[in-house]
Amino acid sequence: MPHASRCNIAVIDQDLTGLFPNSAAVNQTLRLVAKLREVAVKPTARTRKRASRSAA
């Protein structure tokens, strides 16, 4: 396990162990969730325009 001294430990529920058999699978999934969150909360030109109209 790389950088074991700087790791956070999370206990995975038993029903998820088939989906996440190792730390690489967990890390890959968490990175994907982080990217999806970033995309979901990033304002677009359309939402910025809508926000500026409602503030006026």
- Summarised one tens digit per residue, pLDDT across range 4-42 is 667 888 899 999 999 999 999 999 999 999 999 888 877
* DSSP H/E element including 39: helix 23-41
- Distance from C-alpha of 21 to C-alpha of 1, rounded to nearest angstrom: 14
**Using CA atoms, how far apart are residues 44 and 52, in angstroms rounded to an integer?**
12
The domains of the chain are located at 4-55
Single out the residue of 31, 10, 32, 12 nearest to residue 20, CA to CA: 12
Please give the pLDDT value at position 7: 83
Residue 52 has pLDDT above 90, yes or no: no
- Beta-carbon contacts of 23 under 8 Å, excluding residues fewer than 6 positions away, are 1
What would the two tokens of residue 47 be?
A: 């939402």
